[in-house]
Chains A and B, each alone.
Chain A
Amino acid sequence: MAVYSTNEIRGGAKIIVDGDPCTVIDNEFVKPGKGQAFNRIKYRNLKTGRVVERTYKSGESIAAADVVDVEAQYLYNDGSHWHFMQQDNYEQFVVDDIVVGEAKQWLKEQSDCMLTLWNGLPLAVAAPNFVILKIVETDPGVRGDTSGGGGKPAKLETGAIVRIPLFIQEGELIRVDTRNSTYVSRAKESS
């Protein structure tokens, strides 16, 4: 099993802590007075999403996690599971509800996603940063309004709810930033 020394670990490194795969957020070298050196490593547990800090003696080894991100296309949902296909080798993955998590509200068939694999098994799904989706339900806009104001809620074809400007109507396509669930612009055609 591959290992890192605490001093080699940078933000983004994937490590195993207490058996769980984690991604390193920050690693600070600490040398108190004339004492022993430490590394304060802050990481996100990729299974639970929790951010934790742990202090290691400087120079200790930490197991590397075999975690990779691969580009995958979302194929379809069979009623209980989501099916994806890795872009470069056409390998297919069946992913359950928990692993898909928040990403599911943005998933439309054939959208390009990022699958995080741990030892070859799906650990997390990230939707594309931007998606183009059709509005399936929203109140009619107020005449004369152009862009500003508070906006109104709209339901999208994937089930997500976002706030949109009042002048946008049901049936239109919009571009949405999935990282903060916000409307970006009107769109011409779906991607």
Chain B
Amino acid sequence: MMSWQPSATIAALHKRAEVIARIRQFFAERGVLEVDTPVLSHGTITDPYVVGIPAFFTSMGRHEEKTLYLQTSPEYAMKRLLAAGSGPIYQMNKAFRQGEVGRLHNPEFTILEWYRPGFDHHDLMDEMDLLLQTVLEVDKAERVSYADLFMRHLGLNPHSVSIETLMVCAHSKRIVVDGNITHRDTWLDLLWTHCIEPVVGQDRPIFLYDFPASQALLAKIRQEDQPVASRFEVYFKGIELANGFHELQDAVEQGKRFAADLAFRKQHGLPDRPLDHRFLAALEHGLPDCAGVALGVDRLVMLRLGHPFVSDVISFDFERA
């Protein structure tokens, strides 16, 4: 018989509500405005590996369907608010990702996203650290650059190492991969998930910053010894919690990154995506210098309660929805 019962216990839902109340209090104390942007949007993202779930809209009395998308994150809409002069904003809402089901993934999940005009990614890491200390009751996080962490654990410089060296390293770590991987960043990801992620950030969260420029996404790229992306991620107990940027403001550069995504999609036989022209128009108008970050709230609750499955902290997980 199909189970009608929730996947989380009622006690877990009480704890979940406490975490969410604490988050709202945290931002209220700092004068960050809570906003609410559309979950259903005409545009979606171009990213090859983060995919929106389509929804079909029909006008009354008509047959043609218009393809809309459930948001993968509220990033574009929130940046349009920032460009319109909102000042610091946050939002807790549902986001959707195609195909992502697993121990740590539910296709529909609760996302916390916030933006701070005048902050760079280091300032935002400071604020995120305070939030984690408040909600998880943990010590101050460790903070280390992506390059230093790869050097420490694998003896490789991730910005300059060749794909061949990455493959040899993976082989020496007994990582067996089925099929061919020709993308350098994917090898970096594999070494990260198999060799580094499981052993770092166990006692307290770890912030990982300054990613390879090829993984910039919507972050500014700075020229150091090599170009680095002003991006950070947060991990705790082997769980990826958050991803943040010192946000790219340049509309032309943003347009180029979208075009590169679409070219990659075409080359790999992935479906084309409509560009979000409203977002690009907002960037042309002018996005204030700001940093922003998105955090998975369900995972935060998992960590707070020490539960191993994301379904343990969601009222009805994907299977039961």
Residue pair A53, B176 in contact (C-beta under 8 Å): yes
- Interface on chain B toward A: helix, strand, loop, or mixed SS? loop
**Stretch in contact with the other chain, from B20-28, B53-61, B185-193:** B185-193
- Given known contacts A55-B176, A56-B178, is B105 in contact with A35 (CB within 8 Å)? no
Residue pair B179, A57 in contact (C-beta under 8 Å): yes
Residues on B with C-beta less than 8 A from A54 are 176-178
- A32 an interface residue at 8 Å Cβ cutoff? yes
Residue pair A55, B185 in contact (C-beta under 8 Å): no
Residues on A with C-beta less than 8 A from B254 are none
How many positions in chain B have a CB within 8 Å of any CB in the partner chain? Answer: 30
B146 to chain A, nearest CB (A): 10
**Binary contact track A11-38/B, C-beta < 8 Å → 1, others 0:** 0000000000000000011111111111
Residues on B with C-beta less than 8 A from A32 are 189-190, 192-193, 197, 240
- B144 an interface residue at 8 Å Cβ cutoff? no
B158 to chain A, nearest CB (A): 13
Residues on B with C-beta less than 8 A from A55 are 175-178, 190, 194
- A105 an interface residue at 8 Å Cβ cutoff? no
CA distance A54 to B103 in the complex (A): 18
- A7 an interface residue at 8 Å Cβ cutoff? yes
**Binary contact track A54-67/B, C-beta < 8 Å → 1, others 0:** 11111110000000
17 intermolecular pairs with C-beta atoms under 8 Å apart: A30-B193, A31-B105, A32-B193, A32-B240, A33-B189, A34-B49, A34-B215, A34-B217, A35-B49, A35-B186, A54-B176, A54-B177, A55-B178, A55-B194, A56-B179, A57-B179, A59-B99
Interface residues of A, Cβ cutoff 8 Å to B: 7, 28-38, 52-60
Pairs of residues from A and B, 4 with the lowest C-beta to C-beta distance, nearest first: A29-B102, A32-B189, A35-B189, A32-B193
